[in-house]
Structure 1
């Protein structure tokens, strides 16, 4: 049993070692692919790229426009105009959105302030309706269904200015 466990651990260690060796081999093999890249422009102004210097025509090979670039090229950043697809610059769009958000917040706060400011008047049912109900009933009293005094109060009506 001990031999079997050791052989399993040895084979697992060999598998890991083999995986590391394969990864290292791939990295070493990928290095020559990223060697030199030549850029040159022909008489018509067309830009060409090649990795083989012998493919560049002789008249362009010795000129300054046949430049070699390494695999670690530097990228130059160009400033954009800032105009999006809609014709509006990013800065102006952000300013507009910020103003709209502030205006909406102000409207919401004004509405809530106005709602708090208005007094609500709850009116009891008029006595006339109570008397009419009692006259219609034989014994002079109204039940809960017929008597407006027992019915739920009318909806709240805000007082308008």
Structure 2
């Protein structure tokens, strides 16, 4: 069984993330969405809320693709998380050249820790390249419409969190 790990903070999950998840299911038999606890980023949503939003969004994808997709919170090294879930493949989404520079360094470090775990980059679809959770939260905070960047349920959660 080919297991892939797609890690991120998912604060909140965007349609860009969903696109990468959908496309990653073509590469694996089981896809684990690693939800990073990452207290340093000061997430808007709690870990439990992020996992719940993610699980609601991946449920239809599981039925559509026939691939098992599960959320898995983690706070350890990414390579250790890959070991914990039995993943031989780490999936990363790229939006721009700046993403690649950071990801390139991460791959080098992960390969030094365990060269048996491969990393695959999926380029964001052109229509999703500008979407970043950080920007979505900022637009929502400043009263903008984020409905083009997240699903209706996530949009509602954002506005509710911001008292709108």
TM tier, smaller:
under 0.3
TM-score (norm 1): 0.16
Relative to total residues, which structure has the larger strand share, 1 or 2? Answer: 2
TM-score (norm 2): 0.15
Q: Which structure's CA Rg is the greater one?
A: 1
Greater length-normalized contact order (CA 8 Å, ≥ 6 residues apart):
2
